[in-house]
Structure 1
Amino acid sequence: MKKAPQINIGISEEHRAKIAEGLSRLLADSYTLYLMTHNFHWNVTGPMFNTLHTMFMAQYTEQWTALDQIAERIRALGFAAPGTYKEFVKLASIAEVEGQPKALDMVRHLVSAQEATARTARELFPIVDEANDQPTADLLTQRLDVHEKTAWMLRSLLED
């Protein structure tokens, strides 16, 4: 079997492994959030149907693109990206939602999941900073911006 070439990008293997591990958790949370959002898009009902259906579609479309960016960063660091439901369930901090909640409960679940995904991204910064890994820091900053803004927009729907 042919051995993979050494990776020499200025980040130690130990740091790359820790970053890839954290990014794998972020990928699992992001995938769980994606699936939840898509599920709610399909199944939302009620007076806010059109607004939520359209909003959820924009959100899951953005999340789909992000999944690829996170997985490709893991690969660039020299590690395999998780890609099965079994792995995602084990790594994710977000629990799946059972059944079909009412529209505003969907929004509440999504606020919680957006915030959880933001926390997972934020937890990575100390090791990323220590490793001097700017590409991962940039990715995390972009994801935090999206998740925090989306959580705010969703929370706005819950205000009287």
Structure 2
Amino acid sequence: MITRIGIKPEHLSGVAHSLGKIMADEFVLYTKTLKAHWCVTGPDFHSKHLFFESQYGQMEEIVDDVAERIRSLGHFPPATLKEFLSLTHLTEQSREKNDATGHIKELLADHESILIHLRENIDGYVTAFHDAGTSDYITGLMEKHEKMAWMLRAHLE
């Protein structure tokens, strides 16, 4: 069925493709946050285990929201690990230690990378695709990542 929401089909396709890349980033970060929850070690294990659980819960909601945004535009989101890894600009490689500080540094770098990517592309949703709704949606997504990044950063200060 054709989605008739005042945006040309080719623009809807462009937005959906862009959001698919964002969703891939979100899913990779969600997986890395799960890894931190499962694999963290050290004397602060319990508190960091709970902290990472809170963060992966937030990431799970973000992944679902992005997928539903894509569906609301009449397209299907990427939904396989192969697709996510081909679309993401993040790496699934661990660059830090398996302790809380190592996980926090890596997750913080990924949140900041996503924030930069979102900021660099937010205006295009309005100018290139004539989709102020997705631009607004991306603003809200940035705010979520800013808060999560702040929480991670606070552990390093």
TM over 0.5: yes
Find 2:65's aligned residue among 62, 65, 69.
69
Find the counterpart in structure 2 of residue 151 from structure 1.
149
Paired residue secondary structure (2:11) = helix
| 8 A Cα contact 1:20 1:74, kept in partner | yes
Cα distance in 2 for partners of 1:59, 1:138 equals 23
- Structure 1 residues not aligned, in runs of 5+: none
| 8 A Cα contact 2:122 2:139, kept in partner | no
Shift of 1:74: 0.9
* RMSD (Å) for aligned C-alpha atoms: 1.7
**TM-score normalized by the length of structure 2:** 0.90
Letter of the aligned partner of 1:62 in structure 2?
Q
Cα distance in 2 for partners of 1:49, 1:143 equals 29
Q: Does 1:117 align with 2:114?
A: yes
| 8 A Cα contact 1:19 1:127, kept in partner | no
Letter of the aligned partner of 2:119 in structure 1?
R
Find the counterpart in structure 2 of residue 138 from structure 1.
136
Cα distance in 1 for partners of 2:27, 2:130 equals 27
- Structure 2 residues not aligned, in runs of 5+: none
Q: Could you tell which deviates more after superposition, 57-66 or 92-101? A: 92-101
Shift of 1:32: 0.5
User: What aligned pairs does 1:51-130 form with structure 2 within 5 A after superposition?
Assistant: 51-98=47-94, 101-130=98-127
**TM-score normalized by the length of structure 1:** 0.88
Q: How many residues align?
A: 155
